[in-house]
A and B are shown apart, each in its own frame.
Chain A
């Protein structure tokens, strides 16, 4: 789960990381009011997409009037398909230098890693390797003051800024742990006179740790309505843009099914991993979700292990006898109770295949002509 900038900054502030003074605004009037109290301000669209600055989501205003006009403009424009619902209006701070600082997970090392650079304010991937400080964190040791001193030294910070930087790294790691983060990023981290200020915040929180988020952790819904519905019945679902609805059992085989559809020249409508061992009722709900997306055809790819082919077939009977199935269905069934599944499907006039090659080719053919 990604947090909006303002949410991350609230968490930073609560945990002793300095952020610019600011307030939320949900209308141009509110933006003007904040500007009246703060003076020169920056208006920042609260959207989750990256590259916000380049897309025009950040504006500077030197008066309440200007703030009003720019806010109205921001509320009107789409940023890479995202609508601005709220603005963060902050006091404009003096920027002497921009740094980059983040802590994220390194899957290969199986450890958190701190990444820092004296070149901030831009995409970290575009910064040359020699300008980046990269240091793994031993999870059994955590971040200790000496670790922080080394990082700030390598960044070239001295005096009070070095002290503040070291303290900030300690606190950032505390936030990373406390909120079960996959990523905390400050870009840019600004040197403003003799102060270090987090001018932006990016926080990705581990979805699996929801049960232990500290009280007051904000929740952001990134899923579409359909994805949310599918998630509610324990199914992972991703909306795509084609016309062949897909259901398979297992993340890898579902991805491979989409790849096979594209190989034959078709376009999948969705990714749906109906999981292993789902019963016919849950599977029937999954089928109803597919039907609701109005595809040209539904392609089902089941390699039965824990999932039983007859249960999948029964789910189709259930839906057919209930709300009905208004689109053609192409099913590949292989594995546990395959023969029984095929017989059940024949009973309701659905032909099944034992090979995904034939099934996928058939589905693509149907989608192309209908």
Chain B
């Protein structure tokens, strides 16, 4: 099982001939992902690491039967690329790109909802179902197959936590990055619902941060979950009114504070780790 992606996922890399696209295509192939096609307008007919490159998504889909796409595209062109995939029936679109205009993100999410498309990102490291498929830019060596689901708003912090789980002998079913922007395709609840019904997943780690109300909203659902949830939240020491790296990581008008989020999650029955290294211990306790 695992969620969203697995051994049957066939990936299209949009922007495959750019630096990032090329490098991460190599990394994803090395991990064992099925990278079936690449798209770069005007570069059709080339190959990147043995992956055929097409001019359009329509052509790539027709020839290679892809069912997921990952975008390594400059921010101003992301909206068009995302729509190209959605119009062509691709049902999972992963947007790695940072700095996507927020109004573009709104348009992408509205169309995705019409078309029943799962959008991961923008500004995400991607997602991985260890041993089956990796779509994104995370390091290959820190994961191992297992029964913990991880859902995170930030990349490196989730690597740190995944790595500590792996070191503690707890593998992962799927690890997914929602993205650090204000408007992203998946909410914590969207992912928690999938983990709740995934037979392979036994417990979930939620890696949140200050800003917005995603963690507070998720708490309502966590209350009803049968599987345990351990949460870690970054930004306890962040001052109000400052954007802490992520567009969405800002305390505005007293909203989005660490204390509010931690209280909501605890009240919903989640275990809240005070420090990142407490996560594996708390998971053991929760199980």
Contact = CB atoms under 8 A, between A and B. Distances in A.
A13 interface: no
Interface in B236-251: 236-239, 242-249
Interface stretch (A34-42, A63-71, A105-113): A105-113
Contacts of B285: none
B234 A259 contact: yes
Contact of B137 (A105, A262, A276, A303): A276
B101 A256 contact: no
A90 interface: no
A108 B232 CA distance: 20
B102 A180 contact: yes
Question: By DSSP majority rule, is chain A's interface helix, strand, loop, or mixed?
Answer: mixed
Nearest to B182: A107
Contacts of A273: 245
Contacts of A208: 75, 99-102, 247
A107 B157 contact: no
Nearest to A176: B103
A243 to B, nearest CB: 14
Contacts of A253: 154, 156-157, 160, 234
Interface string A95-128: 0000000000101101110000000000101000
Contacts of B275: 259-260, 263
A56 to B, nearest CB: 20
A253 B180 CA distance: 12
Given A105-B182, A276-B137, A139 B110 contact: yes
A139 B104 CA distance: 10
A182 B246 contact: no
Interface string A249-269: 111111110111111000010
A271 interface: yes
A85 interface: no
A144 B113 CA distance: 21
A263 B274 contact: yes
Interface string B256-286: 0000000000000000001111000000000
A177 B102 CA distance: 11
Interface residues of B, number: 63
A209 B102 contact: yes
B217 interface: yes
Given A259-B237, A303-B163, A251 B245 contact: yes
Nearest to B108: A110
A206 B110 contact: no
Given A180-B103, A305-B138, A125 B277 contact: no
A123 to B, nearest CB: 8
Interface in B110-130: 110-111, 113-114
Contacts of A107: 182-184, 212-214, 248
Contact of A180 (B101, B109, B254): B101
A252 B102 contact: no
B253 interface: yes
Contacts of B159: 250, 303, 305, 335
Given A208-B101, A236-B243, 8 more contacts: A108-B214, A110-B105, A140-B111, A251-B249, A252-B152, A256-B157, A305-B139, A305-B155
